[in-house]
Chains A and B, each alone.
Chain A
């Protein structure tokens, strides 16, 4: 096999097998730290050996075996120094998990452990990207604009807490499952959003690496929990947003809003897959949760070939359902944007003004208000609102878009 071929095989194995190797070793050794290090060593060994020896027939088995040997070496080495190591084994539930789609897939235990509610949200995100997605600490640090040493500390502390406080390595009981699954989905959605609209001055407005990782992880969770409606909903939502990526930033680095995007630049394959998932959930006839409703809203948008064909009454009806589940002012703000198209900017502005108390520090509130005031011909007030939005905007692409809209104001 050529050098490039071996390189591709290793990359593919890393994508397909990393989480499986970490999960298998965590099960066997009861220690995330041992599992992570041994998995990393096994992949390093593959980089060294595969170009000379050839790619093994079953890369996953080779990696798991190699990692297992490395882990035994380490446990032996440390066992002499520290007998407590063996006592600190994670609690592992030997009963086969409840039949949840892919029965007994070790990766599911790994995901639930990394997304445990006893860990801070940013820690869950970091741990999931390291243990399940296989990103390096340096890559995760870069993605979240923190120093590598700080990210390393965060991950090390999390592994120590999991071990010392004995966070169990298992799929939650049926009673806890809905809450715990929604915790996992919150982690995945946060990763996606950070990639979709990065924060911080000087940050790339879109970090496709993170959106792609979030989608890959959500596909994995969907494969493991195929009957969960919200998992399908979140995947559909991500796909329908990702489909519009190429149209979202102009050649000059400016953020392009949905109504001005070149719809021909959308990824038709992703749109079709997202629509298929939304239809599947509609056919299931179960009351949809938050992600499924958001996916349905995005399905309505991506069904219109021209923004003028958008079924706004459908969008508003879906937001009405969402408001019943999620009373957050951000949802109410997004609903108002749709109301402007259905009932006019004056009706929408009245709804937006009611949110000022909660959202006065949120750039999208000021941007929405500015757009509505502009459409109502109230230029001076609009200009002031754009200025407030620009002041609060998170990245350069948004600032550019807001500045252009402000400069379109008459007088």
Chain B
């Protein structure tokens, strides 16, 4: 079973060196214990482009598709046997990156 662990943040700015180091330790553990699928940090919402190709013409729009105080700053995709395992890992991830995270199952 795979879960998306979204990193939620409210200010621009990259992770500090201490946070980077803690994230590396956490990622190594995910790999070692077989939970690692993929992870990445994202550029600021202002770097986003929205594309709509449902009609005849491809529309490009500058900026994120929703404006909100909180935004997605990065994510992990983890493999976990059940929600309890996923929540435990997400709690450690939140501590490592020093940000709130949200857990959602893949269907």
Q: Which residues of A contact B (CB under 8 A)?
A: 91, 116-118, 164-168, 172, 176
Contact = CB atoms under 8 A, between A and B. Distances in A.
B57 interface: no
B87 A166 contact: no
Given A116-B83, A118-B87, A172-B84, 10 more contacts: A91-B82, A164-B107, A165-B3, A166-B82, A166-B105, A167-B82, A167-B83, A168-B81, A168-B84, A176-B84
A91 B105 CA distance: 14
Nearest to A88: B107
Contacts of B105: 164-166
Interface of B is mostly: mixed
B42 interface: no
18 contacts: A91-B1, A91-B82, A116-B83, A164-B105, A164-B107, A165-B83, A165-B103, A165-B104, A165-B105, A166-B1, A166-B82, A166-B83, A167-B83, A167-B84, A168-B81, A168-B82, A168-B83, A168-B84
Interface string B77-107: 0000111100100000000000000011101
Contacts of B87: 117-118
Residue with the greatest number of chain B CB neighbours at <10 A, chosen from A117, A164, A165, A172: A165
Interface of B: 1, 3, 81-84, 87, 103-105, 107
Contacts of B1: 91, 166
Nearest to B1: A166
Contacts, number: 27
Interface on chain A toward B: helix, strand, loop, or mixed SS? loop
A96 B105 CA distance: 27
B64 to A, nearest CB: 26
Contacts of A118: 83, 87
Contacts of A165: 3, 83, 103-105
A172 B84 CA distance: 9
A84 to B, nearest CB: 9
A71 B104 CA distance: 29
Nearest to B87: A118
Contacts of A176: 84
Contacts of B84: 167-168, 172, 176
Nearest to A172: B84
Nearest to B85: A168
A110 to B, nearest CB: 16
Nearest to A90: B82
Given A118-B87, A166-B1, A91 B81 contact: yes
A164 B83 CA distance: 10
Interface hub of B1, B104, B105 (most chain A Cβ within 10 A)? B105
B76 to A, nearest CB: 16
A165 B107 CA distance: 9
A136 B7 CA distance: 39
Contacts of B107: 164
A167 B81 CA distance: 10
Contacts of A172: 84
Nearest to A84: B107
Contacts of A167: 82-84
A356 to B, nearest CB: 32
Nearest to A118: B83
A3 B24 CA distance: 70
Contacts of B82: 91, 166-168
Contacts of A166: 1, 82-83, 105
Nearest to B105: A165
Contacts of B3: 165
Contacts of A116: 83
Contacts of B104: 165
B92 to A, nearest CB: 14
A181 to B, nearest CB: 15
A378 to B, nearest CB: 47
Contacts of A168: 81-84
Contacts of A117: 87
A82 to B, nearest CB: 13
A75 B51 CA distance: 42
Which interface residue of A164, A172, A176 has the most chain B CB atoms within 10 A? A164
Nearest to A180: B84
Nearest to B106: A164
A168 B82 CA distance: 6
A265 to B, nearest CB: 47
What are the 5 tightest A-B residue pairs by CB atom distance, in nearest-first order? A168-B82, A91-B82, A165-B105, A166-B82, A167-B83
A168 B81 CA distance: 9
Contacts of B81: 91, 168
A91 B81 CA distance: 8
A5 B70 CA distance: 61
B107 to A, nearest CB: 7
